[in-house]
Structure 1
Amino acid sequence: MTEHSANDAEAPLGGCPVMHGDGSELTRLYGPEAAIDPQGIYGRLRKEYGAVAPVLLEGDVRAWLVLGYRESRRVLDNPLQFSRDSRIWRDWKEGGVEETSPLIQMLGWRPDCVSQDGEPHRRLRRAVTDNLDTLAGRGIRRHVTHFANKQIDAFAGKGSADLVGEYAEYLPMLVLTRLFGLPAAGGRSLAVSCAQVIKGGPDALEHNERIMEILGGLAERKRAEPGPDFTTGLLAHAAGLDEGEILSHLRLVLITAHTTTSNLLARVLEMVLTDGSRLAGLVSGQRSVSEVVEEVMWNTPPLAVLPGRFATADLELGGTQIKEGDLLVLGLAAGNADPDIRPDSGVSVHGNQSHLAFSGGPHECPAQNIGQAIIETAVDVLLHRLPGLHLSVPADELTATASTWEARLDTLPVAFAPV
């Protein structure tokens, strides 16, 4: 710990108020400053508090932000100490968080594998992973190629495009509609709703309800007309998921798979197009997209902050005293940049897959291979379809906007020879 210890606060995190030792307010992970410079906030918090810092989430809900790499690993690997079950969250139990809070879309308990630990988690996760493994062998790259070409056809004749708004923002959802058994026509509006749920804000609840309504209709159709898709696989799995479990897992996979993959695809394209040697290497076949993905996972992971874990007892983490029922959120981007494990961020991370981008422990992301297939194929198709592809603005003019949980590239303007 550095100048201000967590013990300097006037009350423990579950109490009220929670202030710095000098009487100033805690740092907010939302709002205008956080949207522009989240990395600057992480750096200041690390300097002031060390590996674990008290912060405020939307609605000024109190949480601990874990900034240290080793501390994040400890939390992820120890569900007995740091549970994913938000029913033990003290602020929630004591009525400090409204049911209509946008945080509930990310932190609230649901009958899905993310919200549970132990045997209930293993039973539900098995149903998800079994079906994802089956899908991974059913021509995902063919689906990506089909939808990528359709997206590119819409702008190939113009000689210019925004690769965020016209490509990366919607492509993963179009692929997921095929894998889920949904009509592709609704893919764009579903992508918007998923983004709003992650972003939070006053519309998050409305968009979540819309997603659940669509998924409820999908499950009903697939009971009557089974198919070779993820939805049918969940309905028929030996784990015997009930209605609530089915819908919760459809929601979980749809939202997380789309939002993280679309964000990661945009960041990979940004890295490729702002480095001429990487672009030339990919076009010539001397470099692979997976190498670029690895770098992005370290430097700008698709989820910058992972929600959330809840302390099952009073304990110490990174020199900070955590109280039973406290909420912890994991700074994946901050942990990847932790100077204790990565003192020189300029050193190559090629071949090093120990980043935090996929989370870790029992709740590690189960759809890594599918996301990788979507990104690799999407980049390959784009580079081969558009000759002379290059950024149409200086790289330092590219901007990103952050919410509590992620930082998304705003636009990626490019030019190329019209096809």
Structure 2
Amino acid sequence: MRLYGESAETDPMGLFEELRKQHGGVAPVLLPGDIEAWLVLGHRENLDVSRRYTQFSRDSRIWHGWDSGRIAPDSPLLPMIGWRPDCVSADGIDHQRLRAAVTDSLSRFDQRGIRRHITRFAHRLVDGFCQDGQADVVAQFAEHLPMLVLTHLLGMPDEYGPRLVAASRDLIKGTATALASNEYVLETLRNLVEQKRAKPGHDFASALIAHPANLSDDEVLHHLRLVLLAGYETTTNLIVNTVRMVVTDPRFRGSIAGGQLTLPEAVEQMLWDEPPLMVCPARWATGDAQLAGREIRAGDMLLLGLAAGNMDPAVRPDPSAPVHHNRSHLAFSGGPHECPGQDVGRAVTETGIDILLARLPDIRLAVPADQLSWRSSPWSRHLEALPVAFTPARPKSSSVTTTSPFPSMASPAAPAPAGASAQPATPMPPASAELPALAPHPAPVPTQVSLPRQSRWESLKRLVRGR
């Protein structure tokens, strides 16, 4: 079966279940261009593949598909499966060296300080539409909050955000312009690396450059790309999915109203039900192997079916039963390559939604739920719009700042990505003012973000009880 086309885009979870019925824990599938791969569907099988890096490598250079001539040089799959000098494409000692640079650089920052910046950005976004009485949560909130946070951490002006949003979406969707969008992201980050080499700051890019692992410019560049793309796409989808459930699912709202579900628990439930990355590319077999009764040949490509694994009857015999206290889901993959920034993603999601609902306590869906539409790639499913209505509110101007928190930088020389026609054609302007950057923690601290168990959902609870 194809992981693209109408059936894959309209009902990917239904497609996964059909594959499970026909093939069990591992199924043969086709990627765009009818590129053959194995989709891992079982929860246990996903963990098995992700943990056995000596048998299922992240190094795509061993894929036999490169020699078949079936993948074109301009294939939109290349930005997602091509080899890069980053920790995602490495195993063993090389992976440990590169991964340590990422985790150590993330741990330099005071997590409470990160949450303060998330709060400031979230208030700024809500101020932009709170007086209108209506908004699109996707286009006006969820697509911008993660990028604002990420550009801040990387040490970039937030003015770069709109184009990076468009390019990132285009790249991950795998459109005909994905390669151009990928080059735009790389050129923007390449300029950043050059400037941080010359003038380091208190940011993730500068920390990577200064790390004892002694990363090359290419390694720094591709780790910045990795953090930007992976952190942006997954966090945006998680925010949208969670808000959608709040405004559409009576069971979800009832649990909140009854005090049975805190916001962190609600997000965890969403990570089980609708992981923001449905399929994770990719692993390649280093030799012949068996997996779930299938003969895997050396050089075969395997895709981690994160969403399918979360619905495996072996671990969820009753999919309707709540699992929000359980973190054994696959939303952040597993094994040595488990997402190192997952707690920052959780913090962005929980803090952002908390502020959105506290500021707009009577938020509700503005269209019938069956009119919502999605667009899908082989990797993820993205709600196109989430129109909501609410009582108009006054901007909370005292809680936000209109000046940029980033040091001034020259605009990127790359053209706007071809898939981002809605973006201005001229280069993005530099930041016009400065605020103190995130202060580095004096010593490395764990990357776990401490999150409050109780959130400010009282207004929402009153609304639901009133109904």
- Normalised to the residue count of structure 1, the TM-score between the two structures is 0.91
Distance in 2 (alpha carbons) for counterparts of 1:129 and 1:369? 12
Letter in 2 for 1:325: G
The answer on whether the counterparts of 1:136 and 1:370 sit within 8 Å (CA) in structure 2 is no
Aligned to 1:11: none
Provide the residue aligned with 1:108 in structure 2.
Answer: 82
Instruction: Report how many aligned residue pairs link the two structures.
Output: 393
Q: Counterparts of 2:317 and 2:261 in 1: how far apart (Å)?
A: 26
Query: Could you give the per-residue CA deviations for residues 151-176 of structure 1, whole angstroms, max 9, x where no partner exists?
Result: 11111111011111111011100111
Q: How does 1:81-92 map to 2 (within 5 A)?
A: 81-92=55-66
Kindly provide the CA deviation profile for residues 173-192 of structure 1, in whole angstroms up to 9, marking residues without a partner as x.
Answer: 01111111111111011011
For 2:192 and 2:39, locate their aligned partners in 1 and report how far apart those are by CA, in whole Å.
Answer: 37
User: Structure 2 residue aligned with 1:97, among 64, 71, 80?
Assistant: 71
Q: Distance in 1 between matches of 2:254 and 2:352?
A: 17
- State the shift of 1:322 in Å: 0.6
> Which blocks of at least 5 consecutive residues in structure 1 are unaligned?
1-26
Residue 453 of structure 2 corresponds to none
SS across alignment from 1:297: helix
Q: Which of 242, 246, 260 matches 2:216? A: 242
Matches within 5 A, 1:139-158: 139-158=113-132
Pairwise mapping of residues 29-178 of structure 1 onto structure 2 (< 5 A)? 29-135=3-109, 137=111, 139-178=113-152
The 1:413/1:179 distance shift into structure 2, 3 A limit, reads same
How many Å separate the matches in 2 of 1:328 and 1:101?
A: 18
Q: Which deviates more, 145-154 or 75-84? A: 145-154
Q: CA RMSD in A?
A: 1.6
Counterpart of 2:376 (choices 402, 406, 410) is: 402
Find the aligned partners of 1:187 and 1:414 in 2 and give their Cα distance: 23
| Other-structure match for 2:304 | 330
2:308 & 2:240 partners in 1: Cα distance? 20
Structure 1 residue 371, shift from structure 2 partner:
0.4
1:351-386 deviations in Å (ceiling 9; x for gaps): 111001010000000001110110111011101111
Q: Which moved more, 1:38-47 or 1:269-278?
A: 269-278
In the alignment, which of 167, 177, 187 is matched to residue 161 of structure 2?
Answer: 187
Question: For residue 259 of structure 1, what is the amino acid of its counterpart?
Answer: E
The one-letter code sitting in structure 1 at the alignment partner of 2:295 is Q
CA distance in structure 1 between the partners assigned to 2:27 and 2:251 by the alignment = 39
Query: C-alpha separation between the residues in 1 aligned to 2:383 and 2:37?
Result: 26
Q: Counterpart of 2:327?
A: 353
Give SS of 2:33's match.
helix
Q: SS of the residue aligned with 1:34?
A: helix
Tell me which amino acid in the other structure corresponds to 2:2: R
Question: Structure 1 residues 192 and 285, CA, compared in 2 at 3 Å: closer, same or farther?
Answer: farther
C-alpha spacing 1:55/1:286, structure 2 compared with 1 (3 Å): closer
CA contact (8 A) 1:73 1:360 kept: yes
Q: In the alignment, which residue of structure 1 is the partner of 2:242?
A: 268
How far, CA to CA, are the matches of 2:65 and 2:59 in structure 1?
Answer: 13
Structure 2: distance between partners of 1:279 and 1:146: 27
Deviations along 1:235-261, whole A, 9 cap, x unmatched? 100000001101010101001100110
Question: Structure 1 residues 318 and 136, CA, compared in 2 at 3 Å: closer, same or farther?
Answer: farther
Q: Which residue of 2 aligns with 1:290?
A: 264
Letter in 2 for 1:333: A
SS at match of 1:62: strand
Q: Is residue 313 from structure 1 mapped to residue 270 from structure 2 by the alignment?
A: no
The answer for the alignment partner of 2:316 in structure 1 is: 342
Could you give the per-residue CA deviations for residues 270-305 of structure 1, whole angstroms, max 9, x where no partner exists? Answer: 112223564476589774211111111111000000
**2:390 aligned partner:** 416
Provide the C-alpha distance between the structure 1 equivalents of 2:251 and 2:25, rounded to a whole number of angstroms: 36
Aligned-partner SS, 1:401: strand
